[in-house]
Amino acid sequence: MARNRKVTVSTDVHGHTTGWAEVEPSTPVRPDPAVAAFFDVDNTMMQGASIYWFARGLAARNYFTTSDLARFAWQQLRFRVLATEHAGDMSQAKEAALAFVEGWRVDDVERLAEEIFDELMAPRIWGGTRRLAQRHLDAGERVWLVSAAPVEIGRVIAARLGLTGAIGTVAEVVDGAYTGRLVGDLMHGPAKADAVHQLAAVEGLNLARCSAYSDSANDLPMLSAVGRGVAVNPDGTLLREARQRGWEVRDFRTGRRAVKIAVPSTAAAGLVAGAVTAGLALQRRRRAD
């Protein structure tokens, strides 16, 4: 009989994670191979957008020039707008997404993602959402992250949190380097639901017994694909939909902080990332002059 590792989560008064401590469960847990939970990442598992924090971490390491940052900001802004306004036709959005990593080595991105998670992302994991995920693990269920971010970033987050794995946008790789093109669809909207169905077929999951968590109405297809949808830190549209459908709602935000935290995942996420990272880079250059 298998034992699940248990992770206790320490949080501050706002529910933000301050650390983890591993302990052994008092009783063995029998795995339930037919049940899993699926968690969106941006503003659901993490405060803000993972690609935003990744960009900030790269800028702090001087991986971007000013022109690179401007190009990245434009591509990310274009992706967010197209993904929101043209969900039925993603061809243009696919051209804009992930182009900024063209020519980068996969192992370098994974190494940097690990460093940047520890520095910038870990403190922004929602303690409340992390506890929800842990409950599924404690019950012998698998927990998957499902994100539009590059799958390499999702895998790092999942590994650091002790989760089962991650589903994300897949970039084409040739000879260990990114080409700047995508393999398949962006992991956005209906694509998330399709991926969940495919994983269920491969892993033998009973989706009627599974759960899904998200903050965004864009994830209604995924939330509807399982037996239990949960709105976490929901936007207005998802909140209304959750109330109509009788879904559980969990909100770990407070007051004005709820508005500020949502900024990196809006249509301006790329622009915010570009502005912040460009500012950091320019500041360093001024100091060097």
The set of catalytic residues is 40, 42
Specify the pairing of strand 165-169 against strand 142-150: parallel
Residue 98, both tokens: 């992930």
Tell me the residue ranges of DSSP E strands in 162-234. 165-169, 171-174, 177-182, 211-214, 228-232
* HEC per residue, 87-137: CCCCHHHHHHCCHHHCCCEHHHHHHHHHHHHHHHHHHHEEHHHHHHHHHHH
| Helical H segments across 124-229, by residue range | 127-138, 151-161, 190-203, 220-224
